[in-house]
Amino acid sequence: INYDKLLLLGDSLMEFCYNQLPYSHESPTDSTPNDKNHINQNEAEYFNQQIHFTFGSALAHVYTRKLDIVQRGFGGYNTSHISLLLESLLNNDEFVKNLKLIIISGGTNDASTQDNAYLSLKDVRSNFVKMIKLIKEKNINLIIIGSPVYFPEIFSKMCYEDVQKGYNLDNDLVLQYHNQARELCEQNDIPFLDLRSIMIDNYNSTLTSDGLHLSGYGQYLLYKEMMRLIKQHFPQLYPDNIIKKLPT
């Protein structure tokens, strides 16, 4: 059975979009130290944890028997990394053949204080321009997600190891990159999911799991807005308008 595809491409927003226990990407609740398969040996403790709503699972559910959701998320990657990944994916004719929509998240790690992630505003713009051009040449629909709000006081506690390694974000740069991505989308008639505004308008302390990565509530808001944008801009790809594969 061949399905059309929806590609989730980007940074940790996409890598963690199926994680139902997103307390922190460093949290020991994700797995026991000796368990590389992320299976908690204390099952009672595991099942007593609150299961979170996830963006990826919600998409997979509403598109069941309609579209395949392809996840290509890489935590810590900047827009240079993501643009290279995109180019590689689009060079695969078999993969591109049934690809109907690409959703990209990127630009947050570019504002990092880490040398291997930081990129200038000019370089980030160049990467987005390149990605937009590549996707338009293939006549594939595109939605770009803006950067989330960053809460350093929470992040420094929940992601202590990252902070010790020198990872931090410049909030002023995050805002500049966010605004630049929005402007590029407006100039190219591409739907832009303004995650920052959504988080500000719906702010409470449970929006993120660690000051940066979205909690279940944050992912629900992301999903809700994504469905609105798909319905508005690509109604042919809205779940209600796609016929299920095979008879029920």
pLDDT of amino acid 205 = 79
Say if residue 142's pLDDT is above 50.
yes
Identify the domain containing residue 12 by its residue range: 4-241
Question: Would 123 be classed as within a structural domain?
Answer: yes
For residue 185, what are the CA distances in angstroms to 22, 111, 188, 212, 234? 30, 19, 5, 23, 15
Question: Would 220 be classed as within a structural domain?
Answer: yes
pLDDT of amino acid 56 = 97
Distance CA 53, CA 139 (A): 32
Question: Would 191 be classed as within a structural domain?
Answer: yes
Give me 109's structure tokens: 């790690």
Stretch among 14-23, 38-47, 79-88, 201-210 having the lowest mean pLDDT: 38-47
Question: Would 246 be classed as within a structural domain?
Answer: no
Distance CA 67, CA 6 (A): 7
Question: Would 203 be classed as within a structural domain?
Answer: yes
Would you say 5 and 99 are in contact if contact means Cβ atoms under 8 Å apart?
Answer: yes
Distance CA 144, CA 191 (A): 7
At 33, the pLDDT band (50, 70, 90 cuts) reads very low
Would you say 49 and 21 are in contact if contact means Cβ atoms under 8 Å apart?
Answer: yes
At 64, the pLDDT band (50, 70, 90 cuts) reads very high
Question: Would 236 be classed as within a structural domain?
Answer: yes
Say if residue 22's pLDDT is above 90.
no
Distance CA 143, CA 113 (A): 27
Share of the chain above pLDDT 70, in %: 88
Share of the chain above pLDDT 90, in %: 71
pLDDT of amino acid 24 = 60
Stretch among 6-15, 28-37, 101-110, 200-209 having the lowest mean pLDDT: 28-37
Say if residue 75's pLDDT is above 70.
yes
Question: Would 22 be classed as within a structural domain?
Answer: yes
pLDDT of amino acid 23 = 63
CATH code: domain of residue 176: 3.40.50.1110
List all residues 6 or more positions away from 1 whose beta carbon is below 8 Å from its beta carbon.
Answer: 245, 246
Count how many domains the chain has.
1
Distance CA 11, CA 135 (A): 18
Distance CA 24, CA 210 (A): 5
Question: Would 248 be classed as within a structural domain?
Answer: no
Highest mean pLDDT among 43-57, 68-82, 163-177: 68-82
Q: Average of pLDDT values for 123-142?
A: 98
